[in-house]
Structure 1
Amino acid sequence: MSATTATTVGDGTVTVVPTGAALGAEVRGVDLRRVTDAQFAAIHRAWLDHSVLLFRGQTLSDDELIAFSRRFGELDWAPVQENGRRFVEGKPEIYIVSNVLGPDGQPIGSLGAGEAVWHTDMSYLEQPPKASLLYALEIPPAGGDTHFSSMYAAYEALPEALKRRAAGLRVKHDGTYNSGGFLRAGVTPTDDPRTAPGTLHPLVIRHPETGRLALYLGRRRNAYIAGLPLEESEALLDAIWAEATRPAHAWTNHWRVGDLVLWDNRCTMHRRDPFDPQARRIMHRTQIKGAAPPSA
Structure 2
Amino acid sequence: MNVETRMPPAARSANIEIVPTDRSLGAEIRNVDLRQLDDAAFAAVLRAFHTHSVLLVRGQHLSDQDLIAFSRRFGDLDWAPVQENGRRFVEGLPEIYIVSNVKVNGEAIGSLGAGEAVWHTDMSYLETPPIASALYALEIPPVGGNTSFCSMYAVYDALPTELKHRIADLKIKHDGTYNSGGFVRQGVTPTDDPRSSPGAVHPLVCTHPDSGRQMLYLGRRRNAYLVGLELAESEALLDELWTYVARPEFAWEHVWQVGDLVIWDNRSTMHRRDPFDDQARRIMHRTQIKGTERPQ
TM exceeding 0.5 = yes
Question: 1:86 maps to what in 2?
Answer: 88
Counterpart of 2:55 (choices 53, 56, 69) is 53
Q: Is the 8 A contact 1:87 1:109 kept in 2?
A: no
What is the deviation of 1:244? 2.1
Q: List runs of 5+ in structure 2 lacking aligned partners.
A: 1-10
Q: Secondary structure at the match of 1:164?
A: helix
Query: Structure 1 residue 87: deviation in Å?
Result: 3.8
1-structure distance, mates of 2:42, 2:91: 29
Structure-2 separation of matches of 1:10 and 1:121: 32
Deviations 1:254-288 (A, max 9, x none): 00000000000010000000000000000000000
Instruction: Work out the CA distance in 2 between the residues paired with 1:257 and 1:90.
Output: 24
Q: Pairwise CA RMSD of aligned residues?
A: 1.0
Matched with 1:71 is 73
Q: Distance in 2 between matches of 1:56 and 1:260?
A: 6
TM-score of the aligned structures, taking structure 2 as reference length: 0.95
Q: Distance in 2 between matches of 1:206 and 1:11?
A: 30
The answer for the alignment partner of 1:159 in structure 2 is: 160
Are the counterparts in 1 of residues 12 and 37 from structure 2 also a CA contact under 8 Å?
Answer: no
Does 1:210 find its partner at 2:211? Answer: yes
Tell me how many residue pairs correspond in the alignment: 286
Structure 1 counterpart of 2:26, from 17, 24, 36: 24
* Alpha carbons 2:150, 2:250 under 8 Å: kept: yes
The structural deviation recorded for 1:82 is 1.9
Secondary structure of the residue aligned to 2:66 is helix
In the alignment, residue 293 of structure 1 is paired with which amino acid?
Answer: R
- Cα deviations across residues 35-77 of structure 1 (Å, max 9, x unaligned)? 0100000000000000000000000000000000000000000
Tell me the alpha carbon deviations over residues 144-176 of structure 1, each in whole angstroms, 9 at most, x when there is no partner: 000000000000000111100110100010000
SS in structure 1 opposite 2:233? Answer: helix
| 1:250-289 map, 5 Å | 250-289=251-290
Task: Tell me the distance in 2 between the aligned counterparts of 1:280 and 1:87.
Answer: 20
TM-score when scaled to structure 1?
Answer: 0.95
Q: 1:292 — aligned with what?
A: 293
Q: CA offset at residue 128 of structure 1?
A: 0.2
The amino acid that maps onto 1:51 is S
1:52–1:190 distance in 2 versus 1, CA, 3 Å:
same
Counterpart secondary structure, 1:251: strand
The answer (yes or no) to whether the contact 1:148–1:270 under 8 Å persists in 2 is: yes
Q: Which runs of 5+ in 1 are unaligned?
A: 1-8
3-state SS in 1 of match to 2:172: strand
Distance 1:203 1:152 in 2: 13
Identity value in percent: 71
Structure 1 residues 80-89 or 227-236, which shifts more? 80-89
Residues in 2 aligned to 1:261 and 1:255: alpha-carbon distance in whole angstroms: 9
